[in-house]
Structure formats: C-alpha cells, structure tokens
Amino acid sequence: LAPGVVTLRTRVARQVMLAHRQHRLALVLSVIDNGPGVPEHIRDRIFHPLVTARAGGTGLGLSLAQDFVQQHGGIIEFESRPGRTEFRLVLPMEPAH
C-alpha cells in the first residue's frame, strides 16, 4: 500500500468570474491527494451535509467548507479519479468591480 500524499498548491488567477461578478485577482487553492477518489454514487451530493464515504466520517467537512467559501464570495469544486482527487477553492482577493 502506497503512503498517502496530500499536496497543497496555490496560485493567483486573473480576471475570474465568481457569482456573476468579475474579479481582477483570485486565489486558487488546490488540495490534491492520491487516495481512492470520490465514489461515483456520492459525487452529485458530496457537498451536502451528512454525506460521507468514510467509515466514522460525519459528512460535515465539505459542507462547512462550501459554506465558508461561499460566504467569502468564492467557489469550491472538485475532480476525482482513483489515485488523484483535487479540490479547488477559488476566492476573490479584492472587492468585485
């Protein structure tokens, strides 16, 4: 069994549209892991409260993360396949124009 690896990546994106507003600069934070991926049967509701595929999981982490990101005018999205899952948080770095 290969060891689990979590990678954090940050970058600045320019001219990003978030919530129908144009932002000159946005922070993109990617959290990438090499785990088994998000199971197909929960992908469409992964951000809903109490949805989890982990034994002993509460299903609250992604729901809370999405609420936090949305309160700050951003978005959270993901791509997943076995061996590589990436969650991307995109947050405006300044007020909308």
Q: Which residues contact 10 (CB under 8 A, 6 or more apart)?
A: 27, 28, 29, 30
**What whole-number distance in Å separates Cα of residue 27 and Cα of residue 18?**
12
Q: Is residue 95 scored above 70 in pLDDT?
A: no
pLDDT score, position 11: 97
The answer, as to whether pTM is greater than 0.75, is yes
Residue 18 CA to residue 91 CA, distance in Å, equals: 8
Q: How much is the pLDDT for 50?
A: 78
What would the pLDDT profile of 47-82 be if each residue is shown by its tens digit?
Answer: 887 777 777 777 778 888 999 999 999 999 999 999
Tokens of 16: 């990003």
Q: How far is CA 41 from CA 34, 68, 97, in A?
A: 19, 25, 39
User: Considering the domain 6-92, what is its CATH architecture?
Assistant: 2-Layer Sandwich (3.30)
Res 13: pLDDT: 96
Give residue 1's pLDDT band: very low, low, confident or very high (50, 70, 90): low
Q: Sketch the domain layout of the chain as residue ranges.
A: 6-92
pLDDT tens digits, 14-24: 999 998 889 99
List, for residues 74-93, the tens digit of each pLDDT value. Answer: 999 999 999 999 999 999 99
